[in-house]
Structure 1
Amino acid sequence: MVKKIVLPNGGMMLGPSIIGQSELLKKWLFPPKTFYICQTIAYFGCMMFNFLIGVRIDVTIMTRLGKKAWAIGIVSLLIPLIMSSIILILLRLVLTLDQTSLKSLFAIVFVFSTGSVHTTAVHLADLKLLNTEIGDIALSASMVNGIICLLLITAINTQKQSSLKKDKSYNWMTVSFVVMVVFIICVLRPIMLWMVRKTPEGKPIKESYIMSVFLMLLGCAFVSELIGEHYLVGTVIFGMAVPDGPPLGSALTDRLDTMVSAFYLPLYFLYMANKFKLFLIDARSFLIVQAIAIIATLGKIAGTMMLPSIFWKMPVSDVLSLGLLMSANGLTQFIYLQTALNHKTVNEKYYADALITLIWLTGATTPIVKFLYDPSKKYLSLNRRRTIEQSTSDTELSLMACIHSQENTPSIINLLEMSNPSLENPICFYVLHLIQLRGRSTPLFIDHQPTCNRENPPHSASYSQHIINAFRSYEQQNSNNVVVKLFTSISPYETMHNEICMQVAEKRVCLLIVPFHRRWITDGSSESAAPIRALNRHLLRTAPCSVGILIERGTLSRNNPLTSVSFFSVGMVFIEGEDDREALAYAMRMAHHPNIRITLVRIMEPRKNNKNLRYRDPDGDLIHRFKVECIQIKRHDYKEEIVRDSVEMVNVIRSLEGCFDLILVGRRHTSESNLFSGFSEWNEYPELGPIGDMLVASDSTFNGSVLVVQQQKKSGVGYHDLRLDSGIIKTKQETVTIVEVPCDRKVRPII
């Protein structure tokens, strides 16, 4: 929020209060000839900003809002209005206030009582709380609050415009407004839906369609002014009618976000904050506005906290964070204040008081919420470790895989088949399709499970449907051995790890499998995506289960497990440590699959050779179990390699190239021996550990797939690895595919 606070501050400094007092600077910065040009551009920027707000709002969410959202949204508006109005009435009895001051103060009461889904979403994004329970409630409640405020402002503006005339203009404006809304919904929105249908799947929308939407936007703003409403009303309503998400909503936000935030909004702040006049402020009016704003803010917090704490038994720290988020002010309140000034509802003196209050209240909210609420505590405080090594063989094994695109599907299904689901050892497999949040403000979590009352019809326009169909087909082929549950998560990459970790904790998953950020293409080239790499690093730090990073190369990504039976040769490189034990425990489960051959390669130092480690350490105990359970199956093998230093170990690893379809390795090794000397200096991918990095580095000729495994750390403790905190090497960034989510899928209810 620092950048958003600095923008009006810069305009205030350039205004008549400080720099603008110099006639020379005023002549060069704000010459009279360019005044109307700057004003027009500033208003145009405000219009585009409000249009983007409407585009990001998913109107269909209103039909899924629960009682909690409606209750909090209404109460968080009514209580601050009532409390601040009572304070104003009491001040009127004590102090002498003229009619103009009362009119300005009542407008300020309304401004500081309003809420906005955009303001709340911006604060949640800054705090990285969009995917949390508090974020869901705050977005839902602020949407109710914001819609009610928009309707009230429209009604007040209509009444004010009609009061200027003596005829029946109020009825005419109301009818015209209804006709405009109906025209947008029944004519313009179907046209935009037609544009979406005409756009091929995975292709960008035509530029002619984008220009047509811009012309519709200008037309709606003009008609809104023509019928007597504020031009922003038609802009927001038209923005809400635009189909959110790809391909149209995301294309509009991609084109407009940078231009609006970097050019139009700063100019709008510069122009509007230039009306701030410090010399008009007096102590009496300033204290009155401060009291009203503080009471309104406390009313928002109290109204938000009251219902969840009493009826839903939420923790005090959570409801206080929720109250602070609902009371946060931002650009929307600033625009409301500017509109009141332009309509002469607020005079310049109280406008200056309110602007200062708006700035310091905005800056005070964010750090308090950041201190109070940490979403990771809910999944880092688990009392039980969930690992494959500690899971028993006679219980159902829960695994989860994250998928970014349908290219990840074959290798994930092959890995699921290699995990050996059977009647004796069934697997519950959760598939989480991850989509970057673009073109909308609210994250979505969609459950694709079929219900008893209806079937899931195919959705040919959905990119997710191909993934769903593939896993459903595999589940049908192995109906007695595996249960597949599919979900889609649409959220920002910065907070996506919170959603994944919450699902892992809720589903009691033992191993989370995520794709590597680098993808190899058939011609030998590769593409990488930095956001996916950052996501994987977050998961390695905070996931409440074991994590496996799957590097997709070779036959594992090319074979189709649904149409053919494949035989795989799997290698397991074991050195020492809990991560190697977790990888070996997973390999031992694979060893019972009739089409898989396991080769365990143990790398040892000479001083550890020829020693019976069976009863001395867990590493030797697990290797002994592998020999007892698996070596008797003749297709499996066990090898020991004695190495003295890192050079010999590199030679052993290099000798494995071309021998296996998949190699399992542990990520971390705590040994300080000569085997790992110098590795940290040239690691290209620290998140893969020294062995995994060696197999997939740029100079490696290994053409098989690699699964790098990290065992879950001690419960209640987030893992901190300095190597994960190092800067990400800049690579050619892959353009992340943004897809449209099926409208007919079950969506998690909004509270």
Structure 2
Amino acid sequence: MATKEELDGYKILVDKNRVDMKVCYDDKVYNSSNWTPNPLVSTVPMLYIQISIHLFLSGLVFLFLKPFNQSPLVAEIIAGILMGPGFLGKCYVYLNSILPFISDSVLEHTMSIGTVYYMFQLGLDMNLTPMSNISRRITATAIAGMIIPLAMGIWSYFLLISPLEEESVVSKLKSAFVWATVLTSTNLPDLTRVLANLKLMRTEIGRTAITSSFVNDIATWFFIVIFISISRTEEMASMCISILALILFCTFLGRPALSWLVTGPTLMSHDDDDYNGVVNDDGCNTYKEIHVQFVLFGVIVSAFVTDAMGLGSFIGALMFGFIFPSGQLATVVLERLEKVTSWIFVPLYCLVNGIKSKVTEMVPTGRTIKHVILFMALSWAAKILSTFVVAVLTTGGAVAPVRMNRREIFTLGVLMNSKGLLALITINIGREFYLLDKDTSSVMVVTILLMMMSIPPVVKYVYNPKNNRMPSSHGLRRTIQSATATESTFPIVVCVHALTGDIVQGMTSLLRMSNPTVRSKIFAVGIHLVELTEHTAAAMLIVHDAAFHPRVGDSKLNSGQTIHAMEELERDSDELIKVECLTAISRYTTMHIDICSIAEDKSAALILLPFHETLEEKGKDDSEDTNKSCANPIRNMNQQVLTHAQCTVGLLVDKGLGKFFYGHIINLLVFYIGGGDDREALSYAWRMASQPGVHLTVVRLIPRAVGENPYSHLDDILDDQEQGILSLIEEEERQKELDEEFLGDFKWRTATNEAVALSEVVVWGAEETLALIRNVMEGDSYQLCIVGRGNRRISPLESGLVELMEFRELGFMGDAIATSSFSKGTSVLVIQHYYTSSSQDKK
């Protein structure tokens, strides 16, 4: 060791490889009476200050980069570099007050604990089940696509390292293999985020990129184990034996033992009085919080064992997560870890990584900035080149089940450049095992950062899926009336998400009531809505989709209750209801784009959405303060779908619809005022009433004419309309003609059907309307009430209901019924008609 410098009572000793650094107290200063280190001031409180500054900086950077679709991880890496020695670290006062050497050990060890749990979380997310179901062609494509990055990674490393290094060729090859491993990796969570933000998740490019990334992730860990084994030549044999023994132990003893412990009677006991458990899908308490603590303790033990074996603590944590049985306990552990790792430990890791990277002085000795730029360019082009080569070598130049043009192949190559925390971990493992020095590792970190930052703008500029989408050949079949009239398959998109509780049972009951027949079968597309996070588990759902050609009968998506209910629906329908399950991963602010895109791709005539909360036990006064705003993300999403969907949309307020068993008598109620929405609502109810066991009651509300001007009610809404009074009158007259034609056909066709009852009541104003609704609903028991939203309807009956309306997305009638006390136990389905043109309205 050689003395590098002396600073504020410390001696800094740096190894020849410029990686291993020791900090010692200066004996002269330490022994003097004027200076004594205060560990309390310089360790834990300093750690809090460092984390706080890093979180603040990363937040500012993210606000600046957010318009460019950059991820929070990019901001955290940049903030760590800014806090490092290359930027703020150049300030003498900052370096000694914020990043003193005495705090390094606390920072490093805290980061190590975070890394261990992050690796456990990564292993817990990984699942080889979809690996065996991914097509051989895509698997071969992914594996072949790693050959060129491996070769270019080794070549570019020799281009970067200093020619003055005296290391042997074998040592340099080991170091080059570390960078080659980084270059071949494709971070699945980060790729999922990019695809979700750019709305490419459901394209062939997105599916191919995700499945290839999954294969690459598995291969990356295999490569990491390899270079750990070869990192120490004198101990290579013993390390290989240790790794082999670890794999055999985990496979044949560890996993069965964990499965027995997790599912055995010990964990299933509920005898304790202070039981604080977790509720499973069946509503029963299964696991205690102490079980989660034992799992977290097992992570530490596994990390300690592999670290003692010389393999590194992260290998033990990863293997423990990999062999841990999936299920409810694993889900609960992930929920406990996710926020801590993503909000604290990942930023802390980026901070330590930035401190280790001196970007301003990263050019290796004997090399110039031109070498660094060439190294970055080759690294960025490696995946793109490999994708083109594989496309040429495979049949017809296609890297996916369908053909891709050059632009799409280039886009796929750019997407495969997605890097993340796994790449940084690999680089730091190389540092830890003395395979990389400080200069080359700093260049690698910057290269990874630039690759991550370049992907969103390049993909957004080069590839626009909207330009490549073919127009739907079923454009006229985007309403319930059109789909029912043709007596062909009725395509329905059903949306379910975790925040709506048991709504899946209500949705499946609604599908059963939709009268699937041999002539008009139902094709239900169930969309499992998953909020986009930095978590790998969300990405694994898409891997399942891509691997299993998402049929519910084949797929095993991690959405237990939803999938089970959809499987049962298809099984009990005697093939009259065909089901397909998809996963939409996105932020709730943009999730409506995924829903509308899937509905467009499937030519859906109806989108069924769950209401953002359960009103079964709530009255109007209970929900007024919390729901008048659009703060609820589910409510925001529903409103956006209602605005942008190019088909009919139904919003279900479930008040126990799923409790009614199929085959029992179902009483339906429709309040009909007029307009396209009401015609769609009655069409859907009419379809339901065509099957045995369903009774339909239709109440038509006719406004009473008062005074000489029958259009006086239009004055109240002219301020909200762009057209004038004459256009509104003309539109109202046209809607009246369509209503009379539609109702005339309905009366004629249901004249002999005793299960259908139609009554017409003349009312005026909001008070009479509400009184009529109360009398009708209190007069009989109805399981479902279907109404039109009436967002384009012009009616004097509703002019007085505007001030009373709480949920605008339900419309005047839907809101009045759903939030009233007399509708308790009656679910409400609000229908909004899709308007394309006047001719479409007539269909």
TM-score bracket for the superposition, by shorter chain length: 0.7 to 0.9
Matches of 2:776 and 2:406 in 1, distance apart? 56
Instruction: Name the CA shift for 1:472/1:315 in 2 (closer, same or farther; >3 Å).
Output: same
- Name the residue aligned to 1:154: 225
Distance in 2 separating the partners of 1:267 and 1:636:
67
Cα RMSD of the aligned pairs, angstroms, is 4.2
Cross-structure match for 1:736:
none
1:213-235 Cα offsets, whole Å, 9 max, x none, are 22332233223233332332332
For 2:305, the equivalent position in structure 1 comes to: 223
Shift of the 653–323 alpha-carbon distance from structure 1 to 2, 3 Å rule, reads: farther
- Whether 1:299 aligns to 2:388 is no
Q: Which of the pair has more CA radius of gyration? A: 2
Question: Contact 1:667–1:709 at 8 Å: present in 2 too?
Answer: yes
* Alpha-carbon distance in 1 for matches of 2:517, 2:193: 47
What is the aligned partner in structure 2 of residue 732 from structure 1? none
SS of the aligned residue for 1:274 comes to helix
2:333 aligned partner: 252
Structure 1 residues 514-535: Cα deviation after superposition (integer angstroms, max 9, x where no partner): 3333224579899999565455
Answering whether residue 699 of structure 2 is matched by residue 579 of structure 1, we say: no
Specify whether residues 195 and 510 from structure 1 end up closer, same or farther in structure 2 by C-alpha distance, changes over 3 A only. farther
Among 390, 403, 421, the residue aligned to 2:482? 390
Alignment of 1:104-253 (within 5 A): 107-108=178-179, 110-124=181-195, 127=198, 129-130=200-201, 133-161=204-232, 163=233, 165=234, 169-198=235-264, 201-202=280-281, 203=285, 205-244=287-326, 246-253=327-334
In structure 2, relative to structure 1, the CA distance for the partners of 1:188 and 1:19 (3 Å cut) is same
| 8 Å CA contact 2:491, 2:602 repeated in 1 | no
- Change over 3 Å in CA distance of 1:522–1:558 after alignment to 2: farther
Q: Kindly tell me: are residues 646 and 320 of structure 1, through their superposed partners in 2, closer, same or farther at Cα, counting changes over 3 Å?
A: farther
One-letter code aligned to 1:551 = V
- Answer with 60-69 or 442-451: which moved more: 442-451
Match of 2:828 among 701, 706, 725: 706
Letter in 2 for 1:573: Y
- Per-residue Cα deviation, 1:525-569 (whole angstroms, up to 9, x for no partner): 999995654554454355554222222237x5543234xx31514
Cα distance in 1, alignment partners of residues 489 and 184 from structure 2: 51
Contact kept in structure 1, 2:703 and 2:797, CA below 8 Å = no
Whether 2:456 is the aligned partner of 1:366: answer yes
| SS of corresponding position for 2:786 | strand
What is the letter of the counterpart of residue 385 of structure 1?
L
Report how far residue 40 of structure 1 moved.
0.9
TM-score normalised to the size of structure 2?
A: 0.71
Q: Which moved more, 1:74-83 or 1:492-501?
A: 492-501
Contact 1:56 1:249 in 2 (8 A): no
Deviation of 1:692 (Å): 1.3
Q: How does 1:142-541 map to 2 (within 5 A)?
A: 142-161=213-232, 163=233, 165=234, 169-198=235-264, 201-202=280-281, 203=285, 205-244=287-326, 246-282=327-363, 284-307=367-390, 310-311=397-398, 312-370=402-460, 381-383=471-473, 384-386=475-477, 387-393=479-485, 395-400=487-492, 401-402=494-495, 407-408=502-503, 411-412=506-507, 415-416=510-511, 418-421=513-516, 426-428=520-522, 430=524, 432=526, 434=528, 436=530, 440=537, 441-443=539-541, 444-445=544-545, 463=561, 467=565, 471=569, 474-475=572-573, 479=574, 483-489=576-582, 492=585, 494=587, 504=599, 508-521=603-616, 530=632, 532-534=634-636, 536-537=638-639, 539-541=641-643
CA distance in 2, matches of 1:328, 1:473: 40
SS for the counterpart of 1:391 is helix
Report the CA distance shift for 1:703/1:617 in structure 2 as closer, same or farther (over 3 A).
same
Partner-residue secondary structure (3-state), 2:577? strand
8 A Cα contact 2:387 2:413, kept in partner: yes
- For 2:158 and 2:654, how far apart are their aligned partners in 1? 69
- Separation in structure 2 between the aligned mates of residue 232 and residue 89 of structure 1, nearest angstrom: 28
Structure 1 unmatched runs, 5+: 716-751
Letter in 1 for 2:757: H
Letter in structure 2 aligned against 1:690: F
Contact persistence 1:177–1:227 (CA under 8 A): no
* Separation in 1, partners of 2:312, 2:836: 58
**Which letter maps to 1:580?**
D
C-alpha displacement of 1:313: 0.9
Structure 1 residue 591 displacement after superposition: 4.4
> How far apart, CA to CA, are the structure 2 residues paired with 1:175 and 1:91?
34
Greater relative CO (CA pairs within 8 A, separation 6+)? 1
- Residue 28 of structure 2 corresponds to which residue in structure 1? none
Q: Does the aligned pair in 2 maintain the 1:403–1:431 contact within 8 Å?
A: no
3-state SS of the aligned residue for 2:483? Answer: coil
> 2-side partners of 1:415 and 1:664: how far apart?
11
SS at match of 1:145: helix
Q: 647, 655, 658: which is aligned to 2:778? A: 658
Quick one: structure 1 residues 676 and 267, their matched pair in 2 at CA, closer, same or farther if it must change by over 3 Å? Answer: same
Residues 364-395 of structure 1: CA deviation (Å, up to 9, x unaligned)? 21233345556678889423232221135462
SS of 2:815's equivalent in the other structure is helix
Tell me the distance in 2 between the aligned counterparts of 1:573 and 1:485. 31
Q: CA deviation at 1:177?
A: 0.6
Question: Residue 191 of structure 1 aligns to a residue in which SS?
Answer: helix
Q: Deviations over 1:406-451 (max 9, x none)?
A: 954665565456444556x543353737475887231144767769
- Between 1:494-503 and 1:192-201, the stretch displaced more is 494-503
More moved, 109-118 vs 232-241: 109-118
Secondary structure of the residue that 2:231 maps to in structure 1? Answer: helix
Contact 1:53/1:236 (CA < 8 Å) preserved in 2? yes
Q: Would you say 1:621 and 2:741 are equivalent positions?
A: yes
Question: How many Å apart are 1:362 and its aligned residue?
Answer: 1.4
The SS at the match of 2:522 is strand
- Counterpart of 2:662 in structure 1 is 561
Cα distance between partner residues in 2 of 1:254 and 1:136: 27
Instruction: Verify the 8 A CA contact 2:417 2:451 in the aligned structure 1.
Output: no
Please state how far the C-alpha of 1:269 moved relative to its aligned partner.
2.0
The letter for the 2-side match of 1:153 is I
- Indicate if the aligned counterparts of 1:113 and 1:297 stay in contact, CA closer than 8 A: no
CA contact (8 A) 1:59 1:240 kept: no
Quote the residue 2:651 is aligned against: 549
Letter in 2 for 1:514: L
Match of 2:700 in 1: 601
Length-normalised TM-score, structure 1? 0.79
Contact 1:602 1:639 in 2 (8 A): yes
Change (3 A) 1:410 1:122: closer
AA in 2 matched with 1:225: D
Cα pair 2:678 2:831 within 8 Å, conserved: yes
Moved more, 491-500 or 118-127: 491-500
The residue identity in structure 2 corresponding to 1:331 is: L
Q: Is the 8 A contact 1:276 1:351 kept in 2?
A: yes
Q: Distance in 1 between matches of 2:154 and 2:383?
A: 13
Give the fraction of aligned pairs with identical amino acids, expressed as a percent.
24
In 1, are the aligned partners of 2:490 and 2:522 still within 8 Å (CA)? yes
2:72 aligned residue: 3
DSSP 3-state at the match of 2:490: strand
Q: Structure 2 vs 1, CA of residues 382 and 599 (structure 1 numbering), >3 Å: closer, same or farther?
A: same
Q: CA deviation at 1:301?
A: 2.0
- Note the C-alpha offset of 1:132: 5.0
Q: Distance in 1 between matches of 2:180 and 2:806?
A: 57
AA in 1 matched with 2:229: T
> 2:58 aligns to what?
none
Show CA shifts across 1:499-527 (max 9, x none).
Answer: 76666556554333333332245798999
